[in-house]
Chain A
Amino acid sequence: MLGVERGKAGVHLPAAVSFATCLCSLLLALHVAAFPLKASDTPNDGGGSITLEWTAPQPVAKEWILVRRERGGTFAPVTTIEGTVHSFRDGAVQTGVAYEYQLVAQPTDPQLDSEVSAPTRAVAAWFDRTKVNVLVVAAIFFFLLFFYIRQAESGVRWSFRKIPGLAAIEEAIGRATEMGRGILYVPGVQEIDDIQTIASMILLTKVSRMAAKYETNLLVPTNSPGVYTVAEEVVKSAYGDVGRSDAYRSDQVRYITSEQFAYVAAVNGIMLRERPAANFLLGAFFAESLLLAETGHSVGAIQIAGTANVHQMPFFVVACDYTLIGEEYYAASALLSNDARLLGSLKASDTVKIFLITVIVVGSLLLTFGQSWLTGFFSTQ
């Protein structure tokens, strides 16, 4: 048997050697095979970026040198990456150009290098899909807005919660008129592109009209030349609206300074010298909120504040007579105007709020039962 086997082995010796060589080569190849490097366009960006991902077999190199070439070109180093890292975003590529990548092991060991990636182009996206959730809520909001505006135009009316701070605006101006003292309107310390400042300018229109109507002196010190320019136009227009253009004085709206505490010093000085009977602190406020409100309180002015900066609300609540909190501040102009279309926008806002509260409750319940898809959909990170 053995002889036969030997005989057979002798007959097939070249084939056996060949087989063994192949097997050894295969085993060696399996041990040192270059691992794949996946390159793909970074999604939802404006182009100029390719994302690389890889899973290097053990043992990994201490470091990788990432090299890149345009198709057909020569490799050039991009960056050095730690051996334990598994992905990299190359944000320095040209959109539309095909690039190939390779990870080169450091210290040099060709057996640990990656394969050359497939040619990949960076593409500019026309829509950021990570913002679908924002688009959905915005679309719902827009739809409701137009729906309620249409309803308002057809005569439907809604009732809204009374906000004491709004009712007090006219009372404060009336008080100033009776006392023969002025009104101070502080529109916050942010630029004109801040939504709180824009909302403040809208409220300034209402306050200016009342002040003009009652012939009460109004003073508007501003923190930014941009706000000064707009506020001046707003006050001048408001005086014109009530037929009191002649009563408008060019020094009613003043640019003070763009520096936060220098502005506070100036406004506090105005409060102490002019002793206004009513202070309106409406806009974006930061550390200066209490400095202003306490000084206003010390001169005995009736104070109405409004801000959406959560951290400053407690200071205003403590030091002012009335405070418009968060959404009340944004709703103020619509409620004061009583314009049906503006009230329609408030109704839309309230309906979206109910929708979001429902989503929060349902999302919390789903998460409790291990379902995270709704939470994931509304994630913004």
Chain B
Amino acid sequence: MKREVPILITLVSGLFCLIAFFVPHPFVHDLYGDVQNWAIVVVGCTYVLGVANLLRINVRQAQRREGDWFYKIVLIAGLLVTMAVGFSEGNHYSDVTSRFQWIYRTFYSPMTSTMFALLAFFIASAAFRAFRIRSPEALLLAIAAFILMLGRVPLGNAIHPFIPNAADWLMEVPQNAAKRGILIGAALGVMATGIRVILGLEKTYGGTGEGGA
């Protein structure tokens, strides 16, 4: 029963969502909206579990003075203070002048921007490795990348108008063809995976209970 009931719920809700895709009638569509709202409620409840897990792990590590324990205290303090400030402001927590927003703008936003900005350096190091020519395919990749990069800056056009046109052609024809091929394959993969899960063919995620791999 422990395995059959979840599979049955998956089957019923999966087939219902599939039917709702084709049926616009409010009788089905309104119920579909309700099901989606239930999912939001369930996800909302999981936040309690998530935060409890976060606190439990970090408090334990801080208590044991494990590596970088000081950062755990910063994390716990940040979480609790932000939550307390947010709750104390009630419905006004999202106002531009609220203290909650001040915390967001002053601490969170710059740190996030910093993380994102690091991407530029990672792209440089990844590009350095990607463009090492060790095979005919890598040579092709390097030539295509060179034309594309040159075609995307004014210098390319200054050298010859053919270069931006070649860059556009690379993006619109070979790149697009490969991308669409991957997308069609992925879409079929989505269908296959979805049907496997809905029909209960793929049930390894629930555990086999067989005691063997």
Contacts and interface: CB of A to CB of B under 8 A. Distances in A.
Contacts of B127: 318
Contacts of A329: 186, 189
Contact of A310 (B43, B54, B130, B179): B179
A319 B125 CA distance: 9
Interface stretch (A64-72, A112-120, A239-247): A239-247
Interface string A45-57: 1110000000000
B191 interface: yes
Nearest to A264: B115
A290 B191 CA distance: 28
Given A128-B22, A326-B182, A195 B207 contact: no
Given A234-B207, A242-B211, 7 more contacts: A45-B24, A127-B22, A141-B188, A141-B191, A265-B111, A315-B126, A329-B189
B196 A342 contact: yes
Contact of A131 (B22, B188, B193): B22
Interface residues of A, number: 94
Interface stretch (B93-101, B152-160, B164-172, B198-206): B198-206
Nearest to B121: A294
Interface of A: 44-47, 95, 124-128, 131, 134-135, 138, 141-142, 145, 149, 191-193, 195, 198-199, 201-202, 204-206, 209-210, 213, 222, 224-226, 228-230, 232-234, 236-238, 240-243, 250-251, 253-256, 259-262, 264-265, 269, 273, 287, 290-291, 293-295, 308, 310, 313, 315, 318-319, 325-327, 329-331, 333-334, 337, 339, 341-342, 345-346, 348-349, 352-353, 356
A256 B54 contact: yes
Given A128-B22, A128-B24, A308-B189, A290 B126 contact: yes
Main secondary structure of the interface of B (DSSP, over half): helix
B123 interface: yes
Given A226-B42, A261-B116, A326-B183, A346 B192 contact: yes
A125 B23 CA distance: 7
The range of chain B's interface size is 35 or more
Contacts of B191: 138, 141, 349, 352
B25 interface: yes
B12 to A, nearest CB: 16
A275 to B, nearest CB: 12
Given A229-B49, A310-B179, A352-B188, A202 B115 contact: no
A356 B23 contact: no
A255 B53 contact: yes
A209 B18 CA distance: 32
B126 A46 contact: no
Given A124-B24, A205-B205, A261-B115, A241 B189 contact: no
